[in-house]
Structure 1
Amino acid sequence: MLTLTSGAVQVIRSVTADPELPPETGIRIESGVNGSEALRLSVAPAPEAGDQVVEEEGARVYLEPTVATLLDDKELDAQVEPTGDVAFTIAAGAT
């Protein structure tokens, strides 16, 4: 199962902390469009049917079923760039 670094937990909690968002709001990762190998990441109010849910310390990530398989042994990290942009990275999981 995908694991989250402490950096990813902090960033996801920050991104989804808006009190006007539903309490189940998380980050959803899905496959790209038109056969693209890139993954798409977006803020989602809740998981979609069939999504795998990864939750750690209040940070929620919703994985489209095919993406869940692809990222099964991976680790999600995130950091805020000096410009204020958020950068997510996926790497081999810690052993």
Structure 2
Amino acid sequence: MLTLTENATTIVKTIAEQSETAGIRITGQTEPEPGLAIATSAEATDEDTVVEQDGATVYLDATAAEQLDDKVLDAGVDDNGGVQFALGEQQA
């Protein structure tokens, strides 16, 4: 299952607080090319996998849950204040 770094946990919680939502939702696509999209979300849908870590909530649709099953979500803030997300492999 997807895990979050300490930075990602802090940023997801901050995004949720600032946007007055519960967390972020990651959706996956397979066509025309594999990819992911992130948006704030007030709640999970019936099909979502919910990842909760240290107060941060991430909702994953079925495609994203499959694509991110063995990944770690990291995040940082760039010089202009924009949030950048990155994925890494989980350590065994």
Q: Same fold (TM over 0.5)?
A: yes
Identity of aligned residues (%): 36
Could you report, residue by residue, the CA deviation over 1:14-44 in whole angstroms, capped at 9, with x for unpaired residues?
11113x724xx11100024853312000001
8 A contact 2:29–2:63 mirrored in 1: no
Counting helix residues as a fraction of each chain, which structure ranks higher? 2
Length-normalised TM-score, structure 1: 0.88
**Please, which runs of 5 or more residues in structure 1 have no aligned partner?**
none
Task: Please provide the CA RMSD for this pair.
Answer: 1.6
Can you give the 5+ residue segments of structure 2 that lack an aligned partner in the other structure?
Answer: none
Tell me what 2:90 maps to. Answer: 93
After the TM superposition, list the runs of 4 or more consecutive aligned residues in structure 1 that deviate by more than 2 angstroms: 32-36
TM-score (norm 2): 0.90
Alignment: residue pair count: 92
